[in-house]
C-alpha cells in the first residue's frame, strides 16, 4: 500500500527521530498530498533542511504545544495519518514529573481525542524499550520478542509516562470516529537510537574530549544491548504507516506493539560509543570506575543527598540507580514480529550506519573542542 495522496501529521518533527521520518516521507514516498510538521519549536537547521525539499508534497510547519487542545484540533483537521514521536526524554530526573505527565501522557491522550474528532484513521506511536525495562532487579533478556514474559516493574517517571502513553494508544484502537470509521493504532518500541544528530551521543563525545579522548566506561562489557540506527527506526515508521493502510496487514497490526531493532552487533552502551569513534583515535577505559554493586550504592547515596537538599536547592545527581541498572543489564530484542507483520527490514546495514555516524562525529569534533575550550576559559 502506498502513501500517495495521504495527508500526514508528524509530531516531534523537529527532533532527532522526527526529522529523519520527515526526510524519508518527503524523499522516498510517492507524493503525499500534504505533510504537517508539528513541534513546540524548530531549529534553524531543521527548517533549512525541510526548506530544501522541492517536491509536490505541501509542507506545513506548525509550531505549538501538544497540550493545547485548540491547536491539536487544527493540526489534525483534514489529516488521515498521524505519526506521534513527540515526547520528553529524561533518564536523569531533570524534568519535573508533572511536566513529563503533561507532555508524554496527557499530550498523547489529547492528540488521540483530536484524532477522534477529526476522523484520523491511522495512528503510529513512537514508544521506547524502557516501557519494557530493565526492571529494578536487573533481570536480563537475551534476544527476546513481544511474547517474552518479563516482570516490568517501572519505577522511573520517564518509563512510566511512556508506558501509560503507549497503553492509551493501543487501547484506542477500534475507537469509532465521528464519521463512523474506526481508529487503527500500533506502537513501535525502539531500542536506544544512535546516528547523526543524536544528542546523547554528542554529550558522550563532549565528555570524552574533556577526558583526553578517552571514554569513561559507564557500562560493563557483558551488558549487551542492541542499539538501532536512526535511519532504520524512521524506515520502520514509514513501513508501518503503509501496512496499517493495507487491510490484510492491518488486521495483524492493530492494537499491537513492535520491537524495532536492526543488525547492529550486540554490545554495551559504552562500547557502542567507542565502536562509532575508534577510527577517530578515541579510546575507552577498560573497566567500570568501581565494582557494579558499589556503583549502585554510590548512586543511591547521590539520590539521598538530592532528597535531603530538596527543601533548599534542586540538585540533580549525574547518575541514579535506574541509570546504573539500565546501562548494566543485558537486554536485547528481535525485530522478527515487525518483519512478519508489516515487512520491516532495516534499510541501512551496520557498516553504513557506523560510517555515517562516524563522519558526523568527525565533522562535529573541531567545533566541540573550541566550544568546550571557551566554556572552560
> Annotated catalytic sites, by residue?
158
Q: 174 vs 104, 121, 190, CA distance in Å?
A: 22, 10, 24
Tell me if 365 is assigned to some domain.
Answer: no
Q: Which domain holds residue 169?
A: 7-199+227-265+332-348
Q: How confident is the model at residue 194 (pLDDT cuts 50, 70, 90)?
A: very high
Tell me if 163 is assigned to some domain.
Answer: yes
* Whether the predicted pLDDT of 166 surpasses 90: yes
Taking Cα atoms as reference points, which of 103, 142, 161, 125 lies closest to residue 256?
A: 125
* Overall domain count for the chain: 1
CATH number at residue 237: 3.40.50.720
Tell me if 315 is assigned to some domain.
Answer: no
Q: How many CA atoms lie within 13 A of 287 on its CB side?
A: 5
Tell me if 195 is assigned to some domain.
Answer: yes
Question: What would the mean pLDDT of 214-233 be, rounded to a whole number?
Answer: 96
Tell me if 236 is assigned to some domain.
Answer: yes
Output the pLDDT for position 377: 66
**Beta strands, E only, the chain:** 7-11, 34-39, 58-63, 81-84, 122-128, 141-144, 184-190, 193-194, 214-215, 228-229, 256-260, 283-284, 331-333
Taking Cα atoms as reference points, which of 322, 346, 333 lies closest to residue 225?
A: 333
Tell me if 339 is assigned to some domain.
Answer: yes
295-349: pLDDT as tens digits: 999 999 999 999 999 889 989 898 999 999 999 999 999 999 999 999 999 999 9
- DSSP state for residue 279 in the 8-state scheme: G
Entry pTM: 0.95
Cell of 133: 525495562
Tell me if 32 is assigned to some domain.
Answer: yes
Amino acid at each position: 500500500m502506498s502513501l500517495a495522496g495521504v495527508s500526514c501529521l508528524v509530531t516531534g518533527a523537529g527532533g532527532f527521530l522526527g526529522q529523519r521520518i520527515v526526510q524519508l516521507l518527503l524523499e522516498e514516498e510517492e507524493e503525499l498530498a500534504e505533510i504537517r510538521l508539528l513541534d513546540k519549536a524548530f531549529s534553524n537547521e531543521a527548517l533549512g533542511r525541510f526548506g530544501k525539499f522541492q517536491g509536490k508534497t505541501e509542507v506545513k510547519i506548525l509550531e505549538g504545544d501538544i497540550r493545547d487542545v485548540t491547536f491539536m484540533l487544527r493540526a489534525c483537521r483534514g489529516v488521515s495519518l498521524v505519526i506521534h514521536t513527540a515526547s520528553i526524554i529524561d533518564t536523569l530526573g531533570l524534568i519535573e514529573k508533572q511536566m513529563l505527565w503533561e507532555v508524554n501522557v496527557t499530550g498523547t491522550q489529547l492528540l488521540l481525542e483530536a484524532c477522534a474528532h477529526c476522523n484520523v484513521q491511522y495512528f503510529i506511536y513512537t514508544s521506547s524499550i524502557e516501557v519494557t525495562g530493565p526492571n529494578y532487579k536487573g533481570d536480563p533478556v537475551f534476544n527476546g520478542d513481544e511474547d517474552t514474559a518479563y516482570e516490568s516493574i517501572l519505577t522511573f517517571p520517564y518509563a512510566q509516562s511512556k508506558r501509560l502513553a503507549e497503553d492509551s494508544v493501543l487501547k484506542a484502537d477500534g475507537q469509532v470516529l465521528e464519521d463512523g470509521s474506526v481508529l487503527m493504532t500500533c506502537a513501535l518500541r525502539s531500542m536506544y537510537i544512535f546516528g547523526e544528530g543524536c544528542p546523547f551521543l554528542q554529550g558522550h563525545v563532549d565528555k570524552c574530549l574533556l577526558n583526553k579522548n578517552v571514554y569513561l566506561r559507564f557500562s560493563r562489557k557483558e551488558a549487551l544491548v542492541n542499539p538501532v540506527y536512526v535511519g532504520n527506526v524512521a524506515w520502520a515508521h514509514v513501513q508501518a504507516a503503509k501496512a496499517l493502510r493495507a487491510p490484510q496487514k492491518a488486521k495483524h497490526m492493530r492494537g499491537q506493539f513492535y520491537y524495532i531493532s536492526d543488525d547492529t552487533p550486540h554490545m554495551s552502551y559504552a562500547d557502542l560509543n567507542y565502536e562509532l569513534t575508534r577510527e577517530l583515535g578515541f579510546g575507552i577505559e577498560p573497566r567500570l570506575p568501581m565494582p557494579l554493586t558499589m556503583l549502585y550504592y554510590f548512586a543511591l547515596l547521590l539520590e539521598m543527598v538530592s532528597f535531603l537538599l530538596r527543601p533548599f536547592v534542586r540538585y540533580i545527581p549525574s547518575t541514579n540507580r535506574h541509570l546504573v541498572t539500565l546501562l548494566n543489564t543485558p537486554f536485547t530484542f528481535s525485530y522478527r514480529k515487525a518483519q512478519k507483520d508489516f515487512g520491516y527490514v532495516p534499510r541501512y546495514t551496520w557498516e553504513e550506519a557506523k560510517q555515517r555516524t562516524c563522519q558526523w562525529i568527525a565533522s562535529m569534533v573541531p567545533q566541540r573542542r573550541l566550544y568546550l575550550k571557551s566554556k572552560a576559559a
